[in-house]
Amino acid sequence: MGVMKALRHRPFFILLFLFLIIPSSVIPVYAEDNFLKKGDTLFESGNLLEAKSFFIRSLAEYPDIRDYSLYRIFLTAKKEGNLRLAEKTFEDIELHYGYSRWYGPMILDMGSMYANAGLHKESIATLKKYASSFPSGRNIKKVLLLLCEELIRDKQKAEAKNILTGLWYDHPESQEADRAEAILMKEYYNGGNIRGHVKTGALLRRCDELKKTFHFSESIKEYDYLFEHSKKLSLEILTDVYLGKGEALEKLKQYKKASVLYESLLKRLGKTGKRESIELAGYRLANAYFQGSDDEQFLLVSKKAVEKESRSPYGLKTAYLIFKFYKNAGDIHNALDYISMMLKTNTTKLSSFNNAELLWEAGFINYLAADYPEALRLFNLSADSSEEKGVQYCKSVFWAGKAAEKSGEADAAALFKKGVSSTSYYGKLCDLRVNNKILSFKLNRDEYCGSPDALYENINDNEIWDIAEKQIKAGKVLLFFKRAKTLKELGFQNDCFFELKQAVKSEETFTSDKVKIFAKLFVLEGDYIDAVPLLARLSEAEKEKAMNDREISQVLYPLAFYSYVKKYCESEGIDPLFVLSVMRQESMFNSDALSPAGAVGLMQVMPATARKVNKKPIGREDLFLPDTNVRIGVNYLSGLIKENGGNIHYALSAYNAGESKLDEWIKKSGSCEPEEFIERITYRETCDYVKRILSNYLTYRSIYCN
């Protein structure tokens, strides 16, 4: 067998190969040293030869993560321009470590090295390998662009043109797409506009991709190009252009412009357009008026559409908008009329609606109208249409219990008992009722827990890893777990997290015991973001089991950043567990969290709010510091609680949606029970936000305050 063939098919031969090409004087001899760390330090300082020697030694020293050593050897070869060594390490990875996180980056680097060496066919074959293996990989745009440049150099311009065009409309938000457009214009279209050379369907696809990546203004520019050339378009395609641009305008909250566009579309469609297109355009017009708070036009357009198409899918969607309009306005009588009309419709026509949710809405409107027997009937029907113990089921059962109480029915307690669950807001409300308690929506300082202990804080870190290794039996889960453990021992925290996540992904069936293992490991390493979602991998029965295990529940509801939280809560007089409940929802304890709206850090504080609370200049970067963020977040939240008479559901609504919106909701709802007020919050996001935090708070108190 030749040397090259041996290297390809016997991975241990690569170690011999490397020893042969590196002088023995630089081979390390310290068996207990952290060879990877030493090699990294030398690599960063530019001492490639000695760095490589440490990486070679680590091949045998750390067999569970051999690919990490090979990747570092590959990087030294790349930096040296040693194509031969790079090929050998890449072949080893490809043959034995296809699951390695470094396999994809190495394919790209190998393709680049071949390109730089003028080996275009080898580069093309390698880059195509990446494109087929990682079609959604993080480097796919870079790979496709490099592949096209290589194809052009190799005189394969037709194939390059197809890939460049696909890159242009599939990844329009990227720098690579801009580069692809420049190449297409230069190499194929003599400097002309690419839009005149691609099919309309491709341009519409580009618009859709821009909207998916929230580049709405850019998508509008593309739609405008199509409008400029609308004479070439069929009515069907033109309808898609109108609807697409209208959607982008709505996303930018330019509802007036969107409504003008939809009106223009309806005129174009006239009596010759498809009926479904006319109905859709009518619904979109009504929705634009609804979202833009143009009440007069909304009622005029929507009622006309419902009268004309009351039984069509879009007619029913428009009827639901009218129902929401009257519900939000507090007009119970008219809201009842429209929800009742929908429920009388053939159920096949309501396929786009959640039947259980629609029945609940009808029940709630009857509840607000004080028709408690009818509300009870509808809530029970909603529960019967829901998955038992699911969120909708518990919601329906809870409100059925409330309606039963109001109507003097004797079975209220039995209804609450049916909805008891420790995994949802409504399940916890039912549990309180069964135990003759009601959720207090005001913080009571006398009920604070003092200094709760976290069980996991007293557990030895290494002990948990050892216990976990014994419980994880075999398969890919064990493979990735061992890799994570080795990386942790060597001090590579981010790599450790990556391999732990791979272990979780490779586990098909999760039980509460497995959740306990992995959640502990993540939390002990300070990674709350990956620990908490593990609960969602469980069935409802396993969730209940997990939440009844105090050890697991403390891991999923941790006392994160507790020293800061306790310090500032004591000065403001609010419960630290309440603040932790907010923090868990806002950032999942990620101090680096940054929302699309610009909210920062653990408590998702807006910079403008921070300046107002801080009363002196403060930079956005300061808000990433846990101490600063918690101080400002607690101060602001405490102020909202005090301004609203201690009512936490009001304070939470204002924290999420703003104080002016809270004032509007209070005015429309009048004097009502807190549970009722929460259901009447018109922003779905805020309504769910308040429920989740109250659910978090109940869970925190049940864990740490018994």
Asked if pLDDT for residue 668 goes beyond 80, the answer is yes
Residue 19: predicted pLDDT: 46
Asked if pLDDT for residue 108 goes beyond 50, the answer is yes
- What is the distance between the alpha carbons of residues 637 and 617, in angstroms, rounded to a whole number? 20
Residue 145: predicted pLDDT: 96
pLDDT band at 587 (very low <50, low <70, confident <90, very high): very high
Q: Domains of the chain (ranges plus CATH)?
A: 1-101 (no CATH), 199-252 (no CATH), 463-556 (no CATH), 562-704 (1.10.530.10)
- What is the distance between the alpha carbons of residues 160 and 223, in angstroms, rounded to a whole number? 26
- Of the listed ranges 268-272, 501-505, 574-578, the least confidently predicted one is 268-272
Give the tokens for residue 302.
Answer: 């929507």
Give the chain's mean pLDDT.
88
Residue 473's contacts (CB-CB under 8 Å, 6 or more residues apart) are none
Phi/psi of residue 99, each to 5°?
Answer: -85, -5
Give the tokens for residue 266.
Answer: 């309806």
Q: Which residue has the higher pLDDT, 8 or 141?
A: 141
Asked if pLDDT for residue 347 goes beyond 80, the answer is no
- What is the distance between the alpha carbons of residues 241 and 207, in angstroms, rounded to a whole number? 9
Q: What is the 3 state secondary structure string of 98-141?
A: CCCCCHHHHHHHHHHHHHHCCCHHHHHHHHHHHHHHCCCCCCHH
DSSP 202: H
Residue 24: predicted pLDDT: 42
pLDDT band at 29 (very low <50, low <70, confident <90, very high): very low
pLDDT exceeding 70 applies to what percent of the chain? Answer: 92
pLDDT band at 12 (very low <50, low <70, confident <90, very high): very low
- What is the distance between the alpha carbons of residues 57 and 36, in angstroms, rounded to a whole number? 9
Residue 348: predicted pLDDT: 54
Asked if pLDDT for residue 4 goes beyond 50, the answer is no
pLDDT band at 252 (very low <50, low <70, confident <90, very high): very high
Residue 455: predicted pLDDT: 54
Summarised one tens digit per residue, pLDDT across range 262-310 is 999 999 998 777 888 999 999 999 999 999 999 999 999 999 999 887 6
Asked if pLDDT for residue 601 goes beyond 70, the answer is yes
Chain centroid to Cα 579, Å, comes to 23
Summarised one tens digit per residue, pLDDT across range 191-247 is 778 998 888 999 999 999 999 999 999 999 999 999 998 888 899 999 999 999 999
Residue 203: predicted pLDDT: 94
Asked if pLDDT for residue 100 goes beyond 50, the answer is yes
pLDDT band at 5 (very low <50, low <70, confident <90, very high): very low
Helix spans in 573-625 (H): 576-587, 607-614
pTM of the entire structure?
A: 0.82
Give the tokens for residue 253.
Answer: 């909250």
pLDDT exceeding 90 applies to what percent of the chain? Answer: 66
Average pLDDT over residues 123-128: 97
- What is the distance between the alpha carbons of residues 576 and 510, in angstroms, rounded to a whole number? 32
Average pLDDT over residues 577-596: 93
Average pLDDT over residues 455-475: 73
Average pLDDT over residues 649-668: 93
Average pLDDT over residues 407-432: 88
The catalytic residues are: 586
Asked if pLDDT for residue 524 goes beyond 50, the answer is yes
pLDDT band at 65 (very low <50, low <70, confident <90, very high): very high
**DSSP-assigned beta bridge partners for residue 605:** 600
Candidates 537, 564, 545; CA nearest to 625 is: 564
Residue 28: predicted pLDDT: 42
Asked if pLDDT for residue 541 goes beyond 80, the answer is no
Residue pair 394/361 in contact (Cβ under 8 Å)? The answer is no
Rounded to the nearest 10°, the torsion over CA 585, 586, 588, 589 is -130
